[in-house]
Structure 1
Amino acid sequence: MSPTALPELMALLQQFTVETDRYVDTVSARDALHRTDLNALGIMMGAARSGVTVTPGMLRHALNLSSPATTALVDRLDRAGHVRRARSSVDRRQVHLEMTEKALATGSALFSPLARSVERSLENFPQDELELLAAMMRRVTEATVQARQQASGQRPE
Structure 2
Amino acid sequence: MERHNPGRRRTADHLYASALSLARTGETFDRLRGLQGVEGEALLLVLEASRADGRSGVTEPEPITPGRLGRELRLPSASVTAVVDRLERGGHLRRVRDTGDRRKVLLLPTEEAERAHTTYWGGLDERIVEVMERFSPEELSIVDRFLRGATAVTEGYRAEREGHP
Specify if TM > 0.5: yes
Pair 1:84–1:27, CA change in 2 (3 A) = closer
| Partner of residue 42, structure 2 | 40
Which structure has more helix as a fraction of its residues? 1
User: Does the residue aligned with 2:38 lie in a helix, a strand or coil?
Assistant: helix
- C-alpha contact (below 8 Å) 1:25/1:35 kept by paired residues: no
Kept after mapping to 2: 8 A contact 1:88/1:95? yes
**Residue of structure 1 equivalent to 2:151:** 141
**3-state SS in 2 of match to 1:97:** strand
| Residue matched to 1:129 | 139
Task: Supply the distance in 1 between the matched residues of 2:98 and 2:29 (Cα, whole angstroms).
Answer: 33
3-state DSSP class of the match of 1:53? coil
| Aligned-pair CA distance for 1:153 | 5.2
- Aligned partner of 2:13 in structure 1 is 11
Distance 1:93 1:23, change over 3 A: same
How many equivalent residue pairs? Answer: 154
Give the TM-score normalised by structure 1.
0.84
Matched, 1:27 2:29: yes
Q: TM-score, normalised on structure 2? A: 0.81
* 4+ long deviations beyond 3 Å: none
Is 1:114–2:116 an aligned residue pair?
A: no
Does residue 1:152 correspond to 2:152, yes or no?
no
The equivalent of 1:69 in structure 2 is 79
Match of 1:94 in 2: 104
